Amino acid sequence: MTEREFPILEYDDDRNAFIRPLNIIQPVEIAERCVLCFFAEAIEKVLKEYIYRIAAHFRAESLILPLYELDYKGQKISLIQAGVGAPIAGAQIDELTAFGCKKYIACGSCGVLQKEIAVGHLIIPVSAVRDEGTSYHYVKPSREINADERVVRVIENVLTERKVPYVKAKTWTTDAFYRETPLKIQQRKKEGCVAVEMEASAYMAVSQYNNVEFGQILYAGDSLGSDTWDSREHISRTEIREFVLRLALDACSRL
């Protein structure tokens, strides 16, 4: 490892970390296909429709999340609520992989940098600007990271078959949603970013590190595309959130 001016750039490819997921987690019998969904209310609705069991739990200091295994349309699919922010996103991929999952679709919401993108319009991230810290501990430093092309194609096929409009786009992953300043927003727009969120680049990096498949479906939520922030009441759009989860389950079943 070479010493750098900034510690975040000191990438170490040594996999012999003092604490590793398999040191603390025992593999379980679990479906290798897994959906991570940020929407608790949507998960609750899906659980009312399908037979499921709790296969394990993701445990952190401040929360415990059940890892469900659904009988979904003739297939076993794992389902868990996703944690907000890059560190917990990365930890979930690490630990779920240790449990036995290998193929992931995450579904969530994002801010948009173009006000013309309507609330609920779907976005498939194909790359992400790495403005968070977690990814730098998993892959070498770079300004951007690319999504898994095969998983992107699978998601596209599902949305196309369902006649659901979408855009493929670059997203801006940031750790600090209270520091999305006008200058930073303009810079990210110049780089081609359409959306902003808090997990994508970490998800991509940790998945690459673990040699597992990962893709993501986002719906357009609040807008940073005008002079002032517009929440557009996106959190209350429960029908959209449930619909996105069902699309993610369909896409994951094809991985």
- pLDDT of res. 62: 87
- pLDDT of res. 57: 96
H-assigned helices in 140-222: 149-161, 182-190, 200-210
User: What is the DSSP secondary structure assignment for residue 50, as one 8-state letter?
Assistant: S
Ordered domains of the chain (ranges, CATH)? 23-252 (3.40.50.1580)
- pLDDT of res. 227: 87
Instruction: Give residue 120's identity as a one-letter amino acid code.
Output: G
Rounded CA-CA distance 145/171 in Å is 10
Mean pLDDT of 112-125: 95
Q: How many CB atoms lie within 10 A of CB 84?
A: 13
Rounded CA-CA distance 201/216 in Å is 11
β-partners of residue 25 are none
- pLDDT of res. 5: 87
Rounded CA-CA distance 139/78 in Å is 26
CB 246 within 8 A of CB 159: no
- pLDDT of res. 73: 94
CB 226 within 8 A of CB 115: yes
Over the chain, what is the mean pLDDT?
95
pLDDT tens, residue by residue, 162-209: 999 999 999 999 999 999 999 999 999 999 999 999 999 999 999 999
Query: In this model, does residue 235 exceed pLDDT 80?
Result: no
Query: In this model, does residue 1 exceed pLDDT 80?
Result: no
- 33 — pLDDT class (breaks 50, 70, 90): very high
Per-residue tokens: 209 = 């590190």
Rounded CA-CA distance 65/104 in Å is 17
% of the chain surpassing 70 pLDDT: 100
β-partners of residue 111 are 196
Q: How many CB atoms lie within 10 A of CB 45?
A: 14
Rounded CA-CA distance 2/252 in Å is 39
Query: In this model, does residue 32 exceed pLDDT 90?
Result: yes
Rounded CA-CA distance 222/30 in Å is 35
Rounded CA-CA distance 157/229 in Å is 33
Rounded CA-CA distance 58/92 in Å is 7
Rounded CA-CA distance 42/219 in Å is 14
Rounded CA-CA distance 112/16 in Å is 39
Total residues found in the chain within this entry:
255
Contacts (Cβ under 8 Å, ≥6 apart) of 165: 121, 122, 159
- pLDDT of res. 3: 85
Query: In this model, does residue 238 exceed pLDDT 90?
Result: no
* Candidate from 16-20, 48-52, 168-172, 242-246 with smallest mean pLDDT: 16-20
